[in-house]
Structure 1
């Protein structure tokens, strides 16, 4: 099941939801979720691939591709948001969980709540 994570682009102030986990909407509706998320390039690319696979394999190949794509799409979408300048904007715990599920390391560029921990040996009383 997909989990939402708040995302924010600090340059534009735009707020979106990122997702991680299995995408049931992609499983049942193929490329349509990309269209609703305004991910037009992905929508067109996946639509063409599914159409070609459906024609060549009488529907079996596109069904298999939709199952595989359902496991991949949320991670693909959210990492592309980060590449476009968005940052995780949930609580720090939510951001840590999302980044670990997506295979990312939190840093000041991709996380709004990131703080650099100062080693205790450098703290002056």
Structure 2
């Protein structure tokens, strides 16, 4: 599912994914980089380096697999903290039912 967020101060609209992040699972830290979420990109890089170095890369895959379950939630919560709000009642209900708000 998708939801729309709007920042009323800057009049910026963003579409966000709700649920499991397939892009995070396949592309790892590149997903937050392309979204401009450098805080979580740096956390992922560090975690992938730490866990991947001890397991010949298997730990890095495990980190991205586990992180894919909750990255979209973290991203939406950071967007709300930056001043974004649901753009319509459908988006509000989707985010509320998913536990993002």
When normalised by structure 2's length, the TM-score is 0.90
Which aligned segments of 4 or more residues in structure 1 are displaced greater than 2 angstroms?
A: none
Shift of the 93–16 alpha-carbon distance from structure 1 to 2, 3 Å rule, reads: closer
What CA distance in whole angstroms lies between the structure 1 residues aligned with 2:73 and 2:62? 19
- Note if contact 2:73-2:100 (Cα within 8 Å) is conserved in structure 1: no
RMSD (CA atoms): 1.3
Number of aligned positions between the proteins: 101
SS of match in other structure, 2:44: helix
Quote how far apart the aligned CAs of 1:88 are: 0.6
SS of match in other structure, 1:5: strand
Unaligned runs of 5+ in 2: none
1:25 to 23, 26, 29: 23
When normalised by structure 1's length, the TM-score is 0.74
1:115 corresponds to:
none
2:95 corresponds to:
98
* Residue 14 of structure 1 pairs with residue 8 of structure 2: no
2:81 to 72, 80, 83: 83
Higher normalized contact order (CA 8 Å, seq sep 6+, divided by chain length): 2
Unaligned runs of 5+ in 1: 105-125
Point out the structure with the larger helix share. Answer: 2
- Note if contact 1:20-1:102 (Cα within 8 Å) is conserved in structure 2: no
